[in-house]
Chain A
Amino acid sequence: MGETAREVMDSIFFTLRPTQTIAEAVKLFKEASEASGRRVFGMIVVDEAGKLAGMLSVYDIFLLVRPKHTHIWGEMRDLDLSGLLEAACRRARNLRVGDIMTTEVITVAPDTHLLLVIDIMIKKHVRRLPVVEDGRVVGIVYLSQVFQHIQDKLMGR
């Protein structure tokens, strides 16, 4: 059994464009989850030439949805907060993927060793890594796939 990113990466994956809206992106998250049978919480963003432009994760969307002053009223128990979530989502909906995506993306190559992949995931707190070859994204490595791959070894089988 191989020990590189190539062995565990998904080479069929959905991508986003920077010009898509957050509403469109979230719809694609849902479709990708249904198609892959895995909950998709982040997606690669590519430009028109197919080059990696960034990543959009649920965390980026959460930052956008979270009201700036939550710390002020979050501890107040007697407030009527009905409708706030709906309003926050409505404000986020029309922004673009490119407005909030993370552009400092760490990538690996197909032949990057899995131990190095694990090291990056630990140090950088990332759960998914794009796999890039000759400037093109050829796959994506998920934390869950890496774990699944080494499970048997960890169990001593």
Chain B
Amino acid sequence: MNSQKNVLQGLAVREAMRRQVISLPAGAGVDQAIRYCTKYKVNALLVTGDRGKALGVVSKTDLMGAYYAGLPLETPLQAIMSGPPRFCRAEDSLDAALDVMRTHQVHRLYVEGEKGGKAAGVLAYPDIVGLLYRYCHQCDRSILRSGKKGKDLADHLTVREVMTPGVEAVAENAGLAQVMEVLAAARLAAVLVQDASGLPVGVASKTDLILAYLHGLSQETPARVVMNSPVQDCPQEEVLALAIQQMIFSDIHRLFIYKKDHRDIVGVLSLSDAARFRSGACRACLTSRIKV
């Protein structure tokens, strides 16, 4: 069972990193960055200078900030990027990479290429979850394979143990400016949208906000216009492995977690939560996981 313990120990960045780095030149406009984030499904872009040298990073948070600040869509990325990008090496351990991400509060590390200053890959939380998911799937205890669903689930972690408790919500008629303020203050990627009676009716994410920016919507536009519905949710007693599977398959970064029924949202499970947990999805991994 050794292979089931310390799932990240001994693994290198190269095993989880993506080799396709989505980038734009520093002079490209904010509108182009929004299109790239949408089309390539990334939360951030590398900003490059002469001969592809990595200069900075523009994230969806930066793009949302540009919207909030009322910057024109033609604003060049160099005006809003943060930099320089933080790098790691392909041979670094995943544990060390996660430590750097946590210490510096960044969501991704670029992987140094052979040519100095260029990125050969990128490592983000969802990539680490993807690797964990692969391990869980191969494990003897896996409930992820067909025909295994009737297994004893006692050893399996539940969503409740990993989720971030509590939830931020806005009213469906709240303006987009207010939604952005809530997202920024709580450092969240999405908020729950509620109707007048407090029932969850949708989710407004940074992706929805930057698309609103691209579409030229005013910041007074009500949240219900841009929200996604229905809310993607799951019960708090759901097995973690299945919740991760739902996110990976459905291409979503988070699930809202309910207690008794869909109206009673009590937390959020994001792929980042699962990655920070540094474990597979059952206690065989948990016994030796490293506290973060």
Chain A residues with CB under 8 Å of chain B are: 60, 63-64, 67-69, 71-73, 76, 78-81, 84, 87-88, 91, 95-96, 98-101, 103
A100→B39 contact, CB < 8 A: yes
B249→A99 contact, CB < 8 A: no
A98→B137 contact, CB < 8 A: no
A69→B248 contact, CB < 8 A: yes
Query: Chain B contacts of A60 at CB under 8 A?
Result: 39
| Candidates A71, A73, A103; contact of B249 at CB < 8 Å | A73
Known: A78-B145, A96-B215, A101-B35. 8 other contacts (CB 8 A): A60-B39, A63-B39, A69-B126, A69-B249, A84-B249, A91-B251, A95-B211, A99-B214
**Complex Cα gap A89–B195 (Å):** 28
Identify which of B35, B131, B215 gathers the most chain A CB atoms within 10 Å of its CB.
B35
Query: Chain A contacts of B39 at CB under 8 A?
Result: 60, 63-64, 99-100
A100→B145 contact, CB < 8 A: no
| A-B residue pair count with CB separations less than 8 angstroms | 59
| Candidates B32, B134, B146, B251; contact of A88 at CB < 8 Å | B251
B38→A67 contact, CB < 8 A: no
Q: Contacts A79-B146, A98-B214 given: A67-B251 contact, CB under 8 Å?
A: yes
Contact with A along B32-62 (1 / 0, CB 8 A): 1011001111000000000000000000000
B103 contacts A by Cβ under 8 Å: no
**Complex Cα gap A98–B32 (Å):** 10
Selected A-B contacts with CB under 8 Å, 14 pairs: A63-B40, A63-B41, A67-B251, A68-B251, A69-B248, A71-B130, A72-B131, A72-B133, A80-B146, A98-B35, A99-B35, A99-B214, A100-B38, A101-B35
B2 contacts A by Cβ under 8 Å: no
